[in-house]
Amino acid sequence: MTVLVTGAAGFIGAAVCKRLLARNERVEGVDNFNAYYDPALKEARAAQLDIHRGFTLHRLDIAEPAPLAALVAELQPTTVVHLAAQAGVRYSIDNPFAYERSNLAGHLSVLEACRHAADAKGGRAPQLVYASSSSVYGERPIDGPFRETDALATPASLYAATKRAGELMSATYSQLYGLSQTGLRFFTVYGPWGRPDMAVYAFTRKILGGVPIEVYGQGDMARDFTYIDDIVDGVMGVIGAPAAPGEHRLYNIGDSRPIGLMRMIEVLESAIGREAQKIFLPKQPGDVGATYADISRLRALTGYSPQVTLEEGLPRFVDWYRAFHEV
């Protein structure tokens, strides 16, 4: 099986590539190594993949439709795992057009490439598994887990709006062109090789450096923190259980155990062995108070069952961070 992974040098993308390679699949990675955060971390992830004979990296921008379409037509992958995106809620306040390009134009380029892949060599369109986000649920009270059937509130950020737009575009393409598609709504992923803009990574850097951490929402926030290995388990399960031609499915993929921000900080402080200096601030524009995934739909399809608790996962991250940054 040949699998094309966009965002292959990203946090989740690199982890998915590693798991596919461990199964001896042929993996074709796509990434543009943008500078949203230090590209050196992306290069380091890519270097971990390049040692595998079954991996090839293609440095291109998914928002450029012609090169992407040509690549997909040539490779004829069985599956496309589309994880490339402009991430981050707060960044969208000051850089909205980065989201228009990556998350709207980029997603459309992937859909078009999959749609026309079969035309190129008389084959069939690949199944498409793509990343959505828990952000599509918007701001809402925690009176129970978020379900895929919930009516979606007004998006709280442009990032959320672009991810919801991607879901709608995918639904349309499945209906019009018979594409097999599965969208995954990721809930706060963390772990080794994670993103520096996310709280776990940023807090670790600051605590070790003796710099105060900024605790938004006065600390009264909660997230469904999900360890990277559990996320990859879910992605692999979906790859192995493809949607039917013309079917578009959506699944939450999270830990289903929301944890308060202050509890996360406590566990992180324990793993680091140092107490954080804290500056409490109001919630920032675009942030939501809490997230909580109902994962029953994904469990029914794949047997998905997260295994790594925050108390296990954060020390693993801290160990990786110390080794990678030599601190």
Catalytic residue among 159, 227, 251, 292, which? Answer: 159
Pairing status of strand 226-227 against strand 26-31 = unpaired
- Give the separation between CA 168 and CA 161, rounded to whole angstroms: 11
**Residue 306, SS3 per DSSP:** coil
- Give the separation between CA 43 and CA 10, rounded to whole angstroms: 9
Tracing tokens 């202050």 back to the chain, one arrives at 262
DSSP 19-81: HHHHTT-EEEEEE---SSS-HHHHHHHHHHHHTSTTEEEEE--TTSHHHHHHHHHHH--SEEE
Report DSSP state, residue 196. T
Q: Are 134 and 186 in contact (CB under 8 A)?
A: yes
Q: Compute the C-alpha angle 66/67/71, nearest 5°.
A: 115
Q: Does the active-site annotation cover 201?
A: no
Active site residues: 159
